[in-house]
Amino acid sequence: MAPPSRYCVPGERLCSTEEATAGSGTYTRHGFIFSSLAGCLERRSEDSGLPVVSVVRDSESQLLPNVGAVVTCKVCSINSRFAKVHILYVGSTPLKSTFRGTIRREDIRATEKDKVEVYKSFRPSDIVLAKVISLGDAQSNYLLSTAENELGVVVARSEAGVQMVPISWCEMQCPRTHTKEFRKVARVQPQFLQT
């Protein structure tokens, strides 16, 4: 039986900054912490220092891709200079409305950037893990980069329509036709490997 939770509205004064630090969904003003969302008040005690006060709305959280966040996106079209993607997830929370992003040719790999071919790194309808490097200016969308070992193609379908298995950092193989295709593959993180 959970204790009755305390709800708050935007602008409600929660406590002073001496008693706690401001978490998500709050803002500080004149030495006090105010709520910024209409939701449930949550108080978490940190080991070092003061407890963290935050306001949560369980159902949806309006998330926007921030600079430095790892996002999951789907490639919609490729070009010799860049690949256009739809950003689907930020971290592990799905986005309600898709945002558009661009992965430039020089941001696909960290080494040998001028020898990169976009056609050999991504194909349309691949699922890619990328990192946001910029919010973009007036003309362009979010700029993303896959220039790390853990970023790149996660799920891809072969020309036969079957999901492919990664065999190295630059190749994936189709289990049915055994043809190898070039992709910039993301390294599987150790916690997900079964050995």
Can you give the binding site for another protein, defined by CB under 8 A?
5, 7-13, 25, 27, 29, 34, 36-40, 57-62, 64, 96-100, 135-138, 141-142
Q: H-type helices in 91-146, by residue range?
A: none
The whole-angstrom distance between residue 43's C-alpha and the CA centroid of its chain comes to 26
Shortest distance, CB of residue 96 to another protein, whole angstroms? 7
Shortest distance, CB of residue 10 to another protein, whole angstroms? 4
Shortest distance, CB of residue 55 to another protein, whole angstroms? 9
Q: Residue 71 or residue 174: which is nearer to another protein going by CB?
A: 71
Q: Residue 60 or residue 112: which is nearer to another protein going by CB?
A: 60
Measure the CA–CA gap between 85 and 107, rounded to whole angstroms: 14
Q: Residue 4 or residue 190: which is nearer to another protein going by CB?
A: 4
Shortest distance, CB of residue 2 to another protein, whole angstroms? 10
Q: Are 72 and 137 contacting, i.e. CB atoms less than 8 angstroms apart?
A: no
Render the burial of 142-159: b for 16+ CB within 10 Å, e for the rest: bbbbbbeeebbbebbbbe
Q: Residue 29 or residue 178: which is nearer to another protein going by CB?
A: 29
SS3 of residue 188 by DSSP: coil
